[in-house]
Chains A and B, each alone.
Chain A
Amino acid sequence: MGEQAVKISEVTLTKEDFTSDQTVRWCPGCGDYAILSAMQKALPEMGIAKEDLVFVSGIGCAARFPYYLSTYGFHTIHGRGPAVATGVKLANPALSVWEIQGDGDALAIGGNHFIHALRRNVDINILMFNNEIYGLTKGQYSPTSQQGLITTSTPMGSIERPFSAGEVALGSQATFFARTIDTNPKLMSSIFIEAEQHRGTSLVEVLQNCIIYNDKTHALITAKENRDDFQLHLEHGKPMLFGAGKSKGLRLNGLKLEIVTLGENGITEDDILVHDALEPDPTLHQMLVRMRPPEFPMALGVIRAVKAWTYDEGLAAQLAEGQAKAKIKSVKDLLLSGETWEVS
């Protein structure tokens, strides 16, 4: 990490240290509980001093998240969290800034801020809880709802084509994109830690279940009987294998991904694509984020983590250069700059 590295906590903190005194008010069984718990576990491992952590959010069920952590927190307005988080980080680069959004918050009302945050690459971490529904406002379809979904605002089924959050993110030049799921606490915690370590905007999509308005929307991926076939856990430098006993893998056939089975038609592990999260060219990452069951497994893990110049680095460099070169060093100098004349 750069010179503005976040201060390391002097004492070892525990999960309890990150729990606020507020009663958690999500519906019983909501996936958000598991995400909160995974974050409370991950935070002590990051070793960041508690006072240097700021959780910003927009509006929605997801956006209540900051109230339940004992760090600094700011629950703002619908969709604007990335803009507020950007201001916090630019004002004090020594802070570890997190921004929590729902799918509606991020991709509907806040779409503009979402894409520009990723494009700018300010060093903040965005967690998007994707339940493919508007939870807080009682179950209307969202920009990630599947076509045909019956919701409170689409009694005859949703007409719109859904966004893939990852595709939007990569199209916005995201330097870090990871996907995880609320049923996998370990994966969540480890990805949160990796997101924190990445310099630049880290986007983590958490597939989350809204038990009330869109229950089992991710069931195809999470159900025990499908899990192996429909989850591809990507690890940098490892072959893209999945299925029972890691018997299946992905390879490229022309410009398309294809599922192959090891041992069939002479396929060996050498034919399988090896995951390269650090590759700047997003082409393959785009293909991976687009995959969806039942045709393909869902890609989980850190899909993209490329090094790139961050906005905060650029700003710090300009501030330093400005300071070094400035002839005008104070407001007094400024007032006296240019043409002045004395009246006596």
Chain B
Amino acid sequence: MTATAKKRVELDRVVIRFVGDSGDGMQLTGSQFTYTSAMLGNDIATLPDFPAEIRAPQGTMEGVSGFQVQIGAVDIHTPGDEADVLVAMNPAALRANLKWLRTGGHLIVDLDDFEGKNLKRAGYDQDPLEDGSLDGYSLTRAPITSLTKEALKGVDLSTKGIVRCKNMFALGIVYWLFNRDPERTLRFITEKFRKDPALIEANTKALQAGYFYAETVEALPSSYEIAPASIAPGLYRHIAGNQAIAWGLMAAAERLGSDLFFGSYPITPASDILHELTRHRGMGVLAFQAEDEIAAVCSAIGAAFAGQLAITASSGPGIALKGEAMGLAVMAELPLVIVDVQRAGPSTGLPTKTEQADLNIALHGRNGESPVIVLAARSPAQCFEAAYMAAKLAIEHMTPVILLSDGYLANGTEPWRIPDLDAMPDIKRHAPSADVATPFQPYLRDPTTLARYWAVPGTPGLEHRIGGLEKADVDGNISYDPMNHQKMVDLRAEKVARVADHIPAQSVRCEQSGKVLVIGWGGTYGSLLTAVTELEAAGESVGLAHFEYLNPLPANTEEVLSHFEHILVCELNSGQFARYLKGLFPEHRFHQLNKVQGLPFRVNEVKDKIMELCHG
């Protein structure tokens, strides 16, 4: 199919938001558009927006589900601040999402749904399509439901089944609008419904009908073209953050030559890591659903003692429960990765919304002097490398590692150049050599890393006892000696501090010195990088230091800070990283940009704050 009759406009990038009832198939619609665009060579970032309720009443604001995607002929790092195109399948979806559409943006609605009881259910007193409230937008009133019914006449499906195909009709419109060939989705439909020819026929017809409708109606005067981005050559795939974490851990286990033990208890937004790992029993993944978060981390500690790469994952409320056991892993000096997919807190908070407010609990949330390595992933695809590195550091330094992700990274997807696994750094066990002295001394340390040996049950001659009581230096027996305690506390701290010698130096994007250094960590990378890159291009003196290693910090951190006049720490909490940096580097001046709304940063709000410092 080709669209030629109408005018075609070239764009650099565009943000499209698909919204509808949770039963309307918006996630599928959005991801189909995404995949097709990726294959055409666009750069892409996506973000699904799920309701907290599984199935809220149909047609209500609570039941609205959305999918936002930004595609570009240029580098794309975020799903976009505001949508250029909003596709709303019902009044509730419109009402909940109009705030995301930029002024002058293109709005496509299913006209058939804007009537009496649907308007009321969405909370509209009058029809927004008629009352002038949408005058600031370019509005297409498409009778999507009735045209879908019309197009599917004679297909062997119930009316309900036919109406369910309206998302494909909408997708057809959007495909035409952005001049995308629906071919890939047609193949997808054929594959997905291969057991049900009626569904293949229905979905295919709906998609084509939507496409032809867009081509013919006058409501859509032009279509848009987004050229391929200049992307590094290679083989690509899509990946979401949680999936990337699961795969990164599996890659680490494979490299180590270990099975992977994963102890977990379901919690949003971390559960998809469990779901993904349970699919891979065939690769020796022991994913274990425990009775609670405490059992989850404790089973992982047991598996670590037994010599496996052991992981637990949760979100804030579960991390809070794991605190005591993490302290045990610190004391026992066992390798353990704890993944925290952060969500808005405190308490149950906003389970499906993102936040970065677990930094404090990651750094400090255990009793006693209890240092652990803390890492933060910065993008959905980078979760792979972050998880791999978390496992590597845990194993090589014999210590728990907390990997921070967040709800935004967990569900967001981006195209990912498939890495060369052989080029990933090696992971080496600090195992006792065959001629290790007897009796075995479980707390004898490697002189460089200070890691103790990983001696595992089943090995003759290395029988030893460990536990949560303070250990005597070297022999590991229980010790209540005051000076020994001091020494062991210092050794555990020093062991973690020395990790700084084994991680990359902190890099700075854009300007390397000058007026404003923007500092971020974790999932805000895309927004911060976009803001800084755009301002640098506009001639501002601004750089970005985005931290992946939070404890210890890279060895050159102080130096990086010293090259800038102002330091602006941007994070989705009330200032936890800023306070941490202020404590470590009190001689520097820090400014803050903080937000706790369950939402990512908008590029513009970051730019405004930077501009204030550049010219204030």
Q: Which residues of A are at the interface with B, using a C-beta cutoff of 8 A? A: 20-22, 49-54, 56, 59, 66-67, 69-77, 80, 82-92, 94-95, 112-113, 116, 315, 318-319, 321-326, 328-332, 334-336, 338-344
Among candidates A86, A95, A113, A331, residue contacting B457 with C-beta atoms closer than 8 Å: A95
A222 CA / B234 CA spacing, docked (Å): 77
Quick check: is B29 within 8 A (CB to CB) of the other chain? no
- Whether the pair A77, B295 counts as a contact (CB closer than 8 A) is no
Can you sample 10 A-B contacts with CB below 8 Å?
A50-B460, A69-B465, A73-B464, A83-B294, A87-B263, A92-B457, A112-B295, A318-B281, A335-B421, A336-B235
Residues from chain A with Cβ under 8 Å of B459 in the complex: 51
Q: Interface code B546-567, partner A: CB below 8 Å = 1, 0 otherwise? A: 0000000000000000000000
A282 to chain B, nearest CB (A): 21
CB-nearest residue of chain B to A85: B302
Quick check: is B284 within 8 A (CB to CB) of the other chain? yes
A329 CA / B283 CA spacing, docked (Å): 6
**Chain B binding surface SS class:** mixed
A217 CA / B409 CA spacing, docked (Å): 57
Among candidates A71, A322, A335, A338, residue contacting B282 with C-beta atoms closer than 8 Å: A322
- Whether the pair B303, A90 counts as a contact (CB closer than 8 A) is yes
- Whether the pair B468, A72 counts as a contact (CB closer than 8 A) is no
- Whether the pair A90, B462 counts as a contact (CB closer than 8 A) is no
A229 to chain B, nearest CB (A): 41
Residues from chain A with Cβ under 8 Å of B419 in the complex: 335
B491 to chain A, nearest CB (A): 20
A82 CA / B290 CA spacing, docked (Å): 11
- Whether the pair B300, A76 counts as a contact (CB closer than 8 A) is no
A52 CA / B460 CA spacing, docked (Å): 8
- Whether the pair B251, A90 counts as a contact (CB closer than 8 A) is no
Q: Interface code B18-60, partner A: CB below 8 Å = 1, 0 otherwise? A: 0000000000000000010011010000000000000000000
A57 CA / B22 CA spacing, docked (Å): 48
- Whether the pair B233, A90 counts as a contact (CB closer than 8 A) is no
A50 CA / B288 CA spacing, docked (Å): 28
- Whether the pair B466, A112 counts as a contact (CB closer than 8 A) is no
Q: If the complex has contacts A49-B460, A75-B467, A75-B469, are A87 and B254 also in contact, measured as CB distance less than 8 A?
A: no
- Whether the pair A335, B237 counts as a contact (CB closer than 8 A) is yes
Quick check: is B305 within 8 A (CB to CB) of the other chain? yes
Interface members, chain B 286-334 (any A CB < 8 Å): 286, 288, 290-292, 294-296, 298-308, 310, 324-325, 328, 332
CB-nearest residue of chain A to B284: A319
Quick check: is B259 within 8 A (CB to CB) of the other chain? yes
B283, B292, B294, B457 — which one has the most chain A CB atoms within 10 A of its CB? Answer: B457
Not counting A86-B299, A91-B261, a sample of 11 additional A-B residue pairs whose C-beta atoms are within 8 angstroms of each other reads: A50-B463, A75-B466, A75-B467, A76-B328, A83-B294, A83-B299, A87-B263, A88-B305, A329-B282, A334-B280, A335-B237
A332 CA / B251 CA spacing, docked (Å): 9
- Whether the pair B457, A77 counts as a contact (CB closer than 8 A) is no
A189 CA / B232 CA spacing, docked (Å): 68
Quick check: is B477 within 8 A (CB to CB) of the other chain? yes
Interface members, chain B 404-448 (any A CB < 8 Å): 417-419, 421, 439
B-side interface size class: 35 or more
B235, B459, B467 — which one has the most chain A CB atoms within 10 A of its CB? Answer: B467
Residues from chain B with Cβ under 8 Å of A334 in the complex: 247, 250, 280, 283
A88, A91, A323 — which one has the most chain B CB atoms within 10 A of its CB? Answer: A91
Residues from chain A with Cβ under 8 Å of B302 in the complex: 56, 74, 83-91
- Whether the pair B295, A116 counts as a contact (CB closer than 8 A) is yes
Q: Interface code B327-352, partner A: CB below 8 Å = 1, 0 otherwise? A: 01000100000000000000000000
- Whether the pair B301, A84 counts as a contact (CB closer than 8 A) is yes
B72 to chain A, nearest CB (A): 14
Q: If the complex has contacts A86-B302, A342-B236, A343-B231, are A74 and B332 also in contact, measured as CB distance less than 8 A?
A: yes
A91 CA / B299 CA spacing, docked (Å): 9
Q: Interface code B245-266, partner A: CB below 8 Å = 1, 0 otherwise? A: 0010011001000010101000
- Whether the pair A80, B298 counts as a contact (CB closer than 8 A) is yes
B610 to chain A, nearest CB (A): 32
The list of the 9 closest CB pairs from A to B, nearest first, reads: A87-B302, A326-B282, A75-B467, A322-B282, A322-B281, A87-B299, A83-B298, A73-B465, A91-B306
Among candidates B41, B247, B468, residue contacting A77 with C-beta atoms closer than 8 Å: B468
Residues from chain B with Cβ under 8 Å of A21 in the complex: 439
Q: Interface code B157-200, partner A: CB below 8 Å = 1, 0 otherwise? A: 00000000000000000000000000000000000000000000
CB-nearest residue of chain B to A79: B294
- Whether the pair B308, A91 counts as a contact (CB closer than 8 A) is yes
Interface members, chain B 446-484 (any A CB < 8 Å): 456-469, 477-478
Residues from chain B with Cβ under 8 Å of A116 in the complex: 290-291, 295
- Whether the pair B250, A87 counts as a contact (CB closer than 8 A) is no
A13 to chain B, nearest CB (A): 12
CB-nearest residue of chain A to B468: A77
A65 CA / B305 CA spacing, docked (Å): 18
Q: Interface code B564-576, partner A: CB below 8 Å = 1, 0 otherwise? A: 0000000000000
B53 to chain A, nearest CB (A): 28
- Whether the pair B237, A330 counts as a contact (CB closer than 8 A) is no
Residues from chain B with Cβ under 8 Å of A85 in the complex: 302
Residues from chain B with Cβ under 8 Å of A332 in the complex: 421
- Whether the pair B295, A331 counts as a contact (CB closer than 8 A) is no
A74, A90, A94, A321 — which one has the most chain B CB atoms within 10 A of its CB? Answer: A74
A167 to chain B, nearest CB (A): 20
A322 to chain B, nearest CB (A): 3
B64 to chain A, nearest CB (A): 28
Residues from chain A with Cβ under 8 Å of B467 in the complex: 66-67, 73-76
Quick check: is B609 within 8 A (CB to CB) of the other chain? no
Quick check: is B106 within 8 A (CB to CB) of the other chain? no
Quick check: is B238 within 8 A (CB to CB) of the other chain? yes
A309 CA / B460 CA spacing, docked (Å): 31
Residues from chain B with Cβ under 8 Å of A329 in the complex: 282-283
Residues from chain B with Cβ under 8 Å of A112 in the complex: 291-292, 295
